[in-house]
Amino acid sequence: MQKSIHQIGLKRLSTWVLGIAVLFLLVGLWGFWRGVQLGDARPLISWLLGLAFWLAVGIGMLLLIMLWYVFGSGWSVILRRQLEHAMTAFPLLALTFIPFLLLLWWHDSPGLLWKWADPQALLPGGEHVAQDALYQGKAVYLNPLFFTVRAVLFFGLWSFLGLAFRYCSYRMDSDPRRQWADWPTYLSAAGIPLTALTLTFAAIDWFKSLEFHWFSTMYGVWFFSSGIRIALAAIIVLCAFLHKQGYLKGYYNQAHRYNLACLALAFTVFWGYISFSQFFLIYHANIPEETFWYHMRIFNPIDYTHNSWYYVGVFGLIAGHFFVPFLYLLSYKNKVVEKRLLFISVWILIFQMIDFHYNIVPGRLPSDNAVGYDVREFSITVFDFASWIGMGALCLWAYLRSAAKHGPIPVSDPQIQKALHYYE
C-alpha cells in the first residue's frame, strides 16, 4: 500500500534544497552582520521577518495536529502525517535565533533591534531608555536574561511537542497498539494551552516589544490567527505538489481539499475580526500609549499626510489579505478545484508576508525634526528575500529528510480507513 519515497526522488531533492538554504542563509547572515557593523537595524529586521513567517507556519501546523487529535478528526489523518514530518524544523529554527542572542549578550550596542535591551539607547525625543517611565515599569520582564530564558523555553516546548507527535505516529506504523494513538491525544490536551501561551509571549517578546511602549491585549491572537492561516495555505501547496508527484496519489482527494479550504475561509474571517477589533478598540479608547502604533502606520509625523504604510494597510491587508481570499473562498469550485485552491493559497502566503512587514518593519527613528523622530517606511530588500527563502528552504529540507525515512500515511492509525475513504 505504501509507495516508495524514492519514486519521486525526495532524497535527491533534499540535497538541492539544503544547498539553496545554505546559500540564502549566508546572504541573510551577511546582511545581519553588515547591519550590526553599520548600526542599521533594517537587515536585522529582515532576518526577524523570515523567522516570524516560518515560525508561524510551524506553530500553526503544531496547533492543527493537536486540534485534530483532541477532536478525533478522522479525515485529517493523511494530512497529519505531512505535518509531523514538518515538526523536525523547530530545532533548526531555534538555531536561526542564535544571532539575536549574540547581539544581546556580546555586542556593544545590544539595543540595535530591541531598544529595551540597552538602557543607554536613545529614544525619540532625546530620552535614554533607562530614563523612560514605561521601560522602568516593564524592566522586570524586558531584560536580556529573562528574554533568553523565555526563548529557550519556547523553542524547547515546541520542539518537544512536535517531535513527540512525530515519534508516536511513526511507532504506530510498526507497533499498532492503541497507546500510540491515545498518548498524543492526552499530550494535545495539555499542549494546546501551553502552545497558546508560549506563542503569545513569543509574539510579544520578538515583535511587539520592538516598540516596547505599545500596549495591546490582542497581539498574541493576531499571531495565532496568522499562523493557522499560512499553515493551512502551506499544507494545501505541499499536498498539491506531493499529489502531482504521485506521493499522495490515491490518498489525498477532493474532500480533503474542501475541508482545508473551509478552514482557510474560517480563519480568514477570524484574522479579519482580530485585526479590525484591535484597531477599533485602540482607536475608540484613544490612549496615546496605544494609538501611536497605528499613527505611525498611517501618517507622516511632520505634516500628517499619508505615508507608505497607509497604502500597505488599505490595499495590502484590507483588500489583498482579507477581501480577496474571503470572496474567493465563498465559491464551492474555488474550494475543490486544485489549481484554483492552489492559487489562493499562494496568494495568502504572499500577503501574510506583507502583514508581517506591516507589524514588524515600521519603527520610530530618532531625528532632529520637530517631533523628534522619523518613521521607517515600507521597503523590500534583498535580505528580506534571502532570509525568507533561506529559512523556508531549511524547513523544507527538514521535511524532506523526515519524509524520506517514513511512509506517506500512518498505516496502523485506527482512523486511517476513514481518512482514505473520506468524502464530502
232-277 tens-digit pLDDT = 999 999 999 988 888 888 899 999 999 999 999 999 999 999 999 9
CA distance 7 to 250: 15
What's the pLDDT band for 170 if we cut at 50, 70, 90?
confident
The closest of 260, 262, 261, 253 to 422, measured between CA atoms, is 253
Which cell numbers hold the place of 273?
475580526
* pLDDT at residue 421 tops 90: no
User: Furthest-apart CA pair in the chain: how many Å?
Assistant: 71
| Best CA proximity match to 410, nearest among 161, 166, 187, 60 | 166
- Distance CA(361)–CA(235), nearest Å, equals 27
What does residue 375 show for φ and ψ, rounded to 5 degrees? Answer: -105, 135
Percent of the chain's residues with pLDDT above 70 = 98
DSSP class of residue 361 equals S
Please give the average per-residue pLDDT across 297-311, as a whole number. 93
Cβ pair 5, 404 in contact under 8 A: yes
Nearest residue to 268 via CA among 208, 337, 347 = 347
Q: Are 50 and 356 a contacting pair, CB within 8 Å? A: no
Report whether pLDDT(1) > 50.
Answer: no
The distance in angstroms from the start CA to the end CA of the chain is 24
**Residues 226 and 56: beta-carbon distance below 8 Å:** yes
pLDDT at 139: 93
Helices (H), 207-253: 219-245
pLDDT tops 90 at residue 177 = no
Residue 387 φ/ψ, nearest 5 degrees: -70, -40
- Assign 120 to helix, strand or coil: coil
- Confidence band, pLDDT 50/70/90 cuts, at residue 4: low
Burial 221-239 (b: 16+ CB within 10 A, else e): bbbbbbbbbbbbbbbbbbb
365 phi/psi in degrees, rounded to 5: -105, 125
How far apart (Å, rounded) are the C-alpha atoms in residues 129 and 106? 19
Average pLDDT value for residue range 329-338:
96
Cβ pair 86, 239 in contact under 8 A? no
Q: How many CB atoms lie within 10 A of CB 133?
A: 9
Determine the pLDDT at residue 377.
Answer: 94
Confidence band (pLDDT; 50, 70, 90) for 2?
very low
Q: What is the pLDDT of residue 8?
A: 52
Q: How far is CA 255 from the centre of its chain?
A: 26
pLDDT at position 55 is 98
Tell me if 56 sits within 8 A of 223, measured CB to CB. Answer: yes
> What confidence tens digit (pLDDT) does each residue in 42-55 have?
999 999 999 999 99
Q: What is the pLDDT of residue 108?
A: 81
Inter-residue contact 91 to 97 (CB < 8 Å): no
Report H helices in 308-381.
308-311, 324-328, 332-336, 338-360
Q: What DSSP letter does each residue of 271-318 carry, written as one string?
A: HHHHHHHHHHHHHHHT-HHHHHHHHTTTB-TTT--B-HHHHIIIIIII
Rounded Cα gap, residues 215 and 342, in angstroms: 37
Q: Write down the pLDDT at residue 365.
A: 86
| Rg for the chain, CA atoms, rounded | 22
pLDDT band with cut points at 50, 70 and 90 for residue 3: very low
Overall average pLDDT of the 129-136 stretch: 91
The mean predicted confidence, pLDDT, of the chain is 92
* C-beta separation of 394 from 83 below 8 A: no
What does residue 69 show for φ and ψ, rounded to 5 degrees?
-65, -45
